[in-house]
């Protein structure tokens, strides 16, 4: 038979837990948070098909091309090989010089299509990139394409910017 805990005892234990400061180093906390975001991104969607890394046409397309600094619009693009069924990869493109998300696609699509690949925009958002602080924030949405899956974008950027300590995403903002 289970013993029913005394409410007063439980309340006192909770109050004591709240009053005592938890001492965790900033580095440990940050590392745990980064692993959580990476795990979430991995479980939410595939970044590329299993055969994409062997496909020379897909390998020739860089995963990331974004501005080095500033706040700018970005799009998440699915690139796939029409000759090989189900081979694809996701790429990220973002430039401050482009006023609209569609301008980014208009700039990058011709080169992708000339190499014999097809591409489609999965969504967009905004990136705030501070290379001096090694920090990238991903958020927002595109009025034309809808919101990109920022977890996929974060995972792709984590692969490209391995030395960055702070790549985060959220679904807030415009």
Q: Which residues are catalytic?
A: 101
Cα gap 80→86, rounded to integer Å: 7
Q: Does residue 116 sit in helix, strand or coil?
A: coil
Find out whether 63 and 91 touch, Cβ atoms under 8 Å.
Answer: yes
- The DSSP 8-state label assigned to residue 27 in this structure reads H
Find out whether 95 and 129 touch, Cβ atoms under 8 Å.
Answer: no
Phi and psi at 47, nearest 5°, equal -85, -35
In 10 A of CB 109, how many CB atoms? 18
Cα gap 90→77, rounded to integer Å: 6
């Amino acid at each position: 038979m289970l013993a029913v805990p005394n409410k007063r005892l439980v309340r006192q234990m909770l109050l004591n837990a709240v009053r005592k400061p938890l001492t965790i180093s900033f580095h440990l906390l940050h590392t745990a948070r980064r692993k959580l975001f990476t795990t979430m991104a991995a479980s939410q969607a595939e970044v590329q098909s299993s055969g994409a890394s062997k496909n020379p046409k897909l390998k020739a397309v860089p995963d990331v091309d974004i501005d080095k600094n500033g706040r700018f619009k970005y799009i998440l693009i699915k690139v796939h090989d029409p000759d090989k069924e189900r081979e694809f990869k996701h790429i990220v493109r973002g430039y401050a010089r482009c006023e609209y998300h569609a301008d980014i696609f208009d700039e990058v699509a011709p080169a992708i299509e000339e190499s014999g690949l097809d591409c489609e925009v999965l969504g967009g958002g905004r990136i705030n990139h501070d290379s001096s602080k090694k920090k990238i924030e991903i958020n927002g949405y595109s009025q034309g394409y809808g919101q990109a899956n920022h977890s996929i974008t974060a995972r792709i950027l984590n692969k490209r910017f391995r030395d960055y300590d702070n790549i985060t995403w959220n679904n807030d903002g415009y």
